[in-house]
Amino acid sequence: MSHKRIPKRRAAMAAGGVVALGAAAILLPNANASQDGGSSDAAAAPRTLKAADASDLASQLAGMLGDAFAGSYYDTGEQQLVVNVVPGDNNQVIVEAKKAGADVREVDNSMGELRGGASTLKSEATIPGTSWAIDPRTNKILVTADSTVTGEKWDKLESTVQGLGSGMATLEKSAGTFRTFVSGGDAIFGGGARCSLGFNVTAGDGSPAFLTAGHCGVATEQWSDAQDGAPIGTVDQAVFPGEGDFALVKYDDPATEAPSEVNLGDQTVAIGQAAEATVGQQVFRMGSTTGLADGQVLGLDATVNYPEGTVTGLIQTDVCAEPGDSGGSLFTQDGQAIGLTSGGSGDCTAGGETFFQPVTTALEAVGATLGGDAAGGAGDQVGGEEAGGEEAGGGDAVGGEEAGGEEAGGGAGAGDAGAGDGTGSGVGGSDDGTGADDGSGLTG
């Protein structure tokens, strides 16, 4: 059986349409553009790199620099990798890092010190509504508190941050509330909940499967691609809360065709492989509530204290999301799978923080693989003559005349997957007819 999701007519939230148009304008016309303008004289100055190449170089330099390595990030404007180092006696490793093409910057806080500070926050300030992640651009720990952290909770958090010492952490207040985002990408339904198919994968036993958010996987065992429809997949593994927010769902029919691609509507972005996120990297998120949105990676190995419990190892971004986007795919312009939408605060009007489960970690944990024949990135599929017109971004859904109208974005009609008191309908949204029924995310 060939299992494909068929887009249905749907009304869209106005904010979702605006986000979809903006992100499509970035993603689609430039899908074939190369960012690599490096020269053969790479040792003389920092090299121009694609974000994916910068991530690979960062991993290599982290091993080479050892204790001197204090994090790295991708400078999108300069298209260069910036590597932080703490001053020491061995200047040769810094010279080698520069020869490798990195822009080397001396900083005060080592990775060991920053991780130690994060451990202190975990032991002394694990408060629902808080998060923290190491920010290599400031060489500090970025601590965020949502609107529920007030009174004694705020005082406790503030005193803990101050106790880390001057120059170790920054504390910010978010206007929203940290919560899991139920649904996104192609809609999937189970047990009264609505979630999202993130990426199709191949399970360790060779059977077709897909990744989604862990808080969806623990909510119910069986999932359908239509509300009140027959199940198409059964949860094999799920983690939430704890060390991640991911689930592996195996298709019930072993003959299901499950290509690795993100569906933008009438066109797709082929997903060739999973990749590690890099701070500063531009990324795109697809979700059934808000359609296509883009932004940057802000931090790695983030800890988020949801009402349901603490989740570690996430990616922090400024990509917006709203209720109905959970489990949706986070990917790059050239077709690399980066993350699965977990949760956050804010919306696509006021902004906020959104956290993602790294795909690489999820694949390793569940023993699945992604990509293969679908390699090649966005390429001509989304970068052709019609990009920016009626067909850009998959037709009317994200780039055409009706973006923001009937075909843009998707549904707010999600149920609550595993959210505890205090999240309720705010997580799940309502079945008021304003949302997508299907088809705005990943083709499965």
Angstrom distance (rounded) from CA 282 to CA 161: 29
Q: How many residues are there in the chain? A: 444
Pairing type for strands 103-106 and 80-85 reads parallel
DSSP 406-429: TSSS---B---SS--TTTHHHHHB
Q: Which of 55, 288, 326, 329 is catalytic?
A: 326
Strands (E), 198-307: 199-202, 208-212, 222-223, 233-239, 246-251, 261-263, 268-270, 273-274, 282-287, 291-306
Pairing type for strands 140-145 and 169-173 reads parallel
Could you tell me which residues come within 8 angstroms of residue 194 by beta carbon, excluding any fewer than 6 positions away? 182, 183, 187, 188, 227, 324, 411, 413, 414, 415, 417, 428
**What letter does residue 444 receive in the DSSP assignment?**
-
Strands (E), 136-218: 140-145, 169-173, 179-180, 186-190, 193-197, 199-202, 208-212
The residues that bridge with 248 in the sheet, in sequence order, are: 211, 237
Angstrom distance (rounded) from CA 128 to CA 145: 9
Q: Which of 53, 215, 236, 347 is catalytic?
A: 215
Active site residue 215: yes
Q: Which of 53, 225, 236, 245 is catalytic?
A: 245
**What letter does residue 99 receive in the DSSP assignment?**
H
- Residues involved in catalysis: 215, 245, 326
